[in-house]
Structure 1
Amino acid sequence: MIDLSTRSLQDSQEPVTPVPRKVGRRRLLLLAAALPLAAWRLNQTAEAAPLRWEGTALGAPASLVLYHAGDTQRAQAALTATLAEVARLEAMFSLFQADSWLSRLNREGRITGAPTEFQSLLGSALKMAALSRGVFDPSIQPLWSLYFEHFVVGGHSQPPTVTRVQQALSLVGWRGVRLAGDEVSLARAGMGVSLNGIAQGFITDRCSALLRQHGFSQMLVDMGEPRALEAKPDGSAWIIGLGDPREPSRALHTLSVVDQAVATSGGYGTRLDAAGLYTHLINPRTGHTAPAKESVTVVAASATQADALSTALALIPRADTPARLALLRTQPGCRAICIDSAGQVSELS
Structure 2
Amino acid sequence: MRPALTRRRFIGISAAAAGLALLPFGVPARAGEEAVRWHGRALGAPAELIVHHRDRAQAERLVARATTEIARLEGIFSLYASDSALSTLNRLGALAAPPPELVEVLETSRAVWRLSGGAFDPTVQPLWLAYARHFSAPDADPAGPPRDEIAAALALVGLDKVGFNRDRVSFSRPGMALTLNGIAQGFITDRIVELLRAGGVTSTLADIGEVRALGLRPDGSPWRVGIAGDDAQTVELVDRAIATSSAGGFRFAGPGSPGHLLDPRSGMAASLHESVSVLAPEAATADALATAFCLMPAAEIEALLPSLPGVEVRIS
What TM-score range do you get, normalising by the shorter chain? 0.7 to 0.9
The partner residue of 2:88 within 104, 124, 134 is 104
Q: Is the 8 A contact 1:2 1:56 kept in 2?
A: no
Aligned residue in 1 for 2:312: 335
TM-score normalised according to structure 1 size: 0.79
| TM-fit CA distance, 1:213 | 1.8
Q: In the aligned structure 2, how far is the partner of 1:213 from the partner of 1:300? A: 21
- Structure 1 gaps of 5+ residues are 4-13, 22-43, 340-349
The partner residue of 1:149 within 133, 138, 160 is 133
State the SS of the aligned residue for 2:228. Answer: strand
Q: Is the 8 A contact 2:52 2:59 kept in 1?
A: no
Q: In the aligned structure 1, how far is the partner of 2:280 from the partner of 2:273? A: 23
| TM-fit CA distance, 1:54 | 3.4
Q: Is the 8 A contact 1:52 1:63 kept in 2?
A: yes
Kindly provide the amino acid, as one letter, of the partner of residue 108 in structure 1: L
Q: State the superposition RMSD in angstroms.
A: 2.4
| TM-fit CA distance, 1:103 | 1.0
Q: Is the 8 A contact 1:242 1:253 kept in 2?
A: yes
Q: In the aligned structure 2, how far is the partner of 1:86 from the partner of 1:228? A: 17
Q: In the aligned structure 1, how far is the partner of 2:38 from the partner of 2:14? A: 16
- Structure 2 gaps of 5+ residues are 5-12, 21-28
Q: In the aligned structure 1, how far is the partner of 2:40 from the partner of 2:64? A: 15
Aligned residue in 2 for 1:6: none
Q: In the aligned structure 2, how far is the partner of 1:289 from the partner of 1:119? A: 28
Kindly provide the amino acid, as one letter, of the partner of residue 98 in structure 1: S
Q: In the aligned structure 2, how far is the partner of 1:83 from the partner of 1:62? A: 10
The partner residue of 2:186 within 201, 205, 225 is 201
| TM-fit CA distance, 1:115 | 1.2
Q: In the aligned structure 2, how far is the partner of 1:265 from the partner of 1:67? A: 29
Q: In the aligned structure 2, how far is the partner of 1:2 from the partner of 1:200? A: 13
- Equivalent pairs counted in the alignment come to 297
Kindly provide the amino acid, as one letter, of the partner of residue 233 in structure 2: H
Q: In the aligned structure 2, how far is the partner of 1:230 from the partner of 1:81? A: 20
1:115 and 2:99 correspond: yes
State the SS of the aligned residue for 1:239. Answer: strand
State the SS of the aligned residue for 1:134. Answer: coil
1:19 and 2:18 correspond: yes
Deviations 1:153-205, CA, capped at 9 Å, x for gaps: 33435211111111111111110011122211111111111111100000000
Q: In the aligned structure 1, how far is the partner of 2:168 from the partner of 2:174? A: 17
Aligned residue in 2 for 1:33: none
Aligned residue in 2 for 1:303: 283
The partner residue of 2:163 within 175, 178, 185 is 178
Aligned residue in 1 for 2:25: none
Deviations 1:39-70, CA, capped at 9 Å, x for gaps: xxxxx99411122233433222222112122x
Q: Is the 8 A contact 1:106 1:192 kept in 2?
A: yes
Q: In the aligned structure 1, how far is the partner of 2:74 from the partner of 2:288? A: 18
Structure with the larger RCO, 1 or 2 (CA within 8 Å, 6+ apart): 2
TM-score normalised according to structure 2 size: 0.87
State the SS of the aligned residue for 1:336. Answer: strand
Aligned residue in 2 for 1:287: 267
Where in structure 1 do 4 or more consecutive aligned residues deviate above 6 Å? Answer: none
Q: In the aligned structure 1, how far is the partner of 2:87 from the partner of 2:19? A: 24
State the SS of the aligned residue for 1:172. Answer: coil
State the SS of the aligned residue for 1:78. Answer: helix
What are the within-5 Å matches in structure 2 for residues 175-254 of structure 1?
175-244=160-229, 252-254=232-234
Q: Is the 8 A contact 2:77 2:85 kept in 1?
A: yes
The partner residue of 1:75 within 50, 59, 63 is 59
| TM-fit CA distance, 1:273 | 2.1
Q: Is the 8 A contact 1:111 1:183 kept in 2?
A: yes
Distance 1:55 1:81, change over 3 A: closer
Q: In the aligned structure 2, how far is the partner of 1:93 from the partner of 1:55? A: 17
Q: In the aligned structure 1, how far is the partner of 2:310 from the partner of 2:208? A: 23
Q: In the aligned structure 1, how far is the partner of 2:225 from the partner of 2:56? A: 27
| TM-fit CA distance, 1:219 | 0.5
Aligned residue in 2 for 1:134: 118
State the SS of the aligned residue for 1:97. Answer: coil
